Amino acid sequence: MKTVAVIFGGRSTEHDVSIITALASVIKPLELSKQYKVEAVYIAKDGSWYWDDKLKDIKPYQSGEIEDFMHRAPKVHLLFDKGLTLVKSSQFAGRKMYRKIDVVFPAMHGTHGEDGELMGLLEMANVPYVGCDFRASAVAMDKVLAKQVAGASGVESNPWVWFYSRQFSKTPQTVLKQIKDLKYPLFVKPAHTGSSIGISRVEKVGELMNALEVAAHYDDKIIVEQGVQNLIEATLPIMGNDDPIPALLERPLTKPEDFFDFDTKYMQGGKKGKGSAKAGAQGYSELPAQLPKELCKKAEQIGLDVYRVLGCSGIARIDLLIDSKTGKVFFNEVNPLPGGLYAHNWRRAGISNVDLVSKLVSLAEERWQAKQKLTTSFSTNYLKQF
Ligand SMILES: Nc1ncnc2c1ncn2[C@@H]1O[C@H](COP(=O)(O)OP(=O)(O)O)[C@@H](O)[C@H]1O
Ligand SMILES: [Mg+2]
């Protein structure tokens, strides 16, 4: 049986969301598949790593018992041995436990995990891992870089500008000049945060400075976007390496006034919508999106284009903003690890949770195998000349 290490938690504002993704949408179906031995690796909010079967249960996190556990539990060591081995001290003095890992399943959201940092570590260990690689993850989690890369391939976003926060503090007038051609409402966003943290919708120029200050508080890079008019939001989960397949185009039905509310996205399963709306991983949505066929097709093609040009593999979710009057589809952002894997959408598309995680593990192995064929050494006489 193959051993899969699921890594979750981490130094991110989305720490708690990651715990739920890991426990409910990854570990549970992996175990149900009976194909894998699952090791739970939890990264605490302070960045310490723990590895224990107890960490597969939601209760210690809910009750606060986790604090007690972390006080007593040994931390994990990582051994890079032509792959990855987890190591920890056991209760018996001097004894150590070792577990060789076949595949890692990162279940992290946000900073220090979803953004390529963890993937870089796994790449160094040369262990197969699920989802986007370190390059695609890093690009995807930078709202500026993602739009630059997509834009260079002809994928349009609504007009936007960007600058470093230090430019804003040093020469605010230059920054304001850069922004002045954008039409209100504007969206001011820190380049690297998720879950709407630090984002403002700015209706008029008088609100702009404050919004910029808020964004600068969260990030060293800021993007300001022109708001898409007659907005319809759409999101498309995609899975695969060389031949990616889309799930169903989904339309989140969040009301404008609730856009930036963490509670709306994650608590109470979202606020209730109407009609064919169903509770998804992040609130209520229309699944599949009830949009004209041509528009759906266009959105799907743009989603697949973005997936390819950003170098995504394994899984990702592409978010689009549609102007319902003009039928224009704009690229908004990529989520390399969609919350809960967006399993509700895959299920509707005919792929069960168990099949989804098994498929993702296979895709990780397939990408790793393809990489092993690349030459990484080169014989020279360079050393002999010294
Ligand atoms: N340019 C825009 N035009 C219209 N609405 C936007 C725009 N940018 C963001 N929004 C709204 O704000 C929400 C959050 O922005 P987003 O870029 O998706 O950040 P996050 O990383 O927090 O999900 C979007 O889901 C959308 O409702
Ligand atoms: Mg978003």
Can you give the residue ranges of every domain in the chain? 2-131, 140-155+229-371, 160-226
Mean pLDDT on 341-361: 97
CATH architecture assigned to 160-226? 2-Layer Sandwich (3.30)
Specify the residue with its C-alpha closest to ligand 1, atom 8: 187
> Which residues, in sequence order, are CB contacts of 277 under 8 Å at separation 6+?
253, 284, 285, 286
13: confidence class by pLDDT, cuts 50, 70, 90: confident
Helix 208-218 and helix 172-179, axial crossing angle in degrees, nearest 10: 110
| Residue percentage of the chain with pLDDT more than 70 | 91
C-beta 185 within 6 A of ligand 1 = no
pTM: 0.92
> Using CA atoms, how far apart are residues 138 and 131, in angstroms rounded to an integer?
12
The third-level CATH classification (topology) of the domain covering 2-131 is Rossmann fold (3.40.50)
> Using CA atoms, how far apart are residues 57 and 162, in angstroms rounded to an integer?
42
First-last CA distance in the chain: 49
State which ligand 1 atom lies nearest to the alpha carbon of 160.
1
| Strand order across the beta sheet in which 77-80 lies | 77-80, 84-89, 96-101
266: confidence class by pLDDT, cuts 50, 70, 90: low
**Residue 301 is inside which H or E element, if any?**
helix 293-309
Q: Name the 3-class secondary structure at 170.
A: helix
Convert 171-188 to b/e letters by CB count within 10 Å (16 or more is b): eeeebeeebeebeebbbb
C-beta 227 within 6 A of ligand 1 = yes
Specify the residue with its C-alpha closest to ligand 1, atom 26: 259
Per-residue pLDDT tens digits for 80-133: 999 999 999 886 677 899 999 999 999 999 989 999 999 999 999 999 999 999
Mean pLDDT on 234-261: 86
Amino acid at 296: C
Which ligand is nearest to the Cα of residue 232, counting in written order? 1
C-beta 321 within 6 A of ligand 1 = yes
Tokens matching residue 13? 């504002």
Specify the residue with its C-alpha closest to ligand 1, atom 22: 196
C-beta 25 within 6 A of ligand 1 = no
Q: Give the DSSP letter of residue 129.
A: B
**Residue 181 is inside which H or E element, if any?**
none
Specify the residue with its C-alpha closest to ligand 1, atom 24: 259
pLDDT attached to residue 197: 81
Which ligand is nearest to the Cα of residue 259, counting in written order? 1
At the top level of CATH, the class of 140-155+229-371 is alpha beta
The alpha carbon of residue 315 and the mean position of all alpha carbons in its chain are separated, in whole angstroms, by 9
> Using CA atoms, how far apart are residues 290 and 5, in angstroms rounded to an integer?
39
C-beta 228 within 6 A of ligand 1 = yes
Mean pLDDT on 4-25: 96
Closest Cα to residue 81, out of 105, 97, 98? 98
Which of 186, 332, 334 is the pocket-test mutation for ligand 1 (most atoms within 8 Å of CB)? 332
Per-residue pLDDT tens digits for 121-167: 999 999 999 999 999 999 999 999 999 999 999 999 999 999 999 99
Contact 44, 79 (CB under 8 A): no
Amino acid at 181: D
Specify the residue with its C-alpha closest to ligand 1, atom 7: 227
Per-residue pLDDT tens digits for 23-77: 999 999 999 999 999 999 999 999 999 999 999 999 999 999 999 999 999 999 9
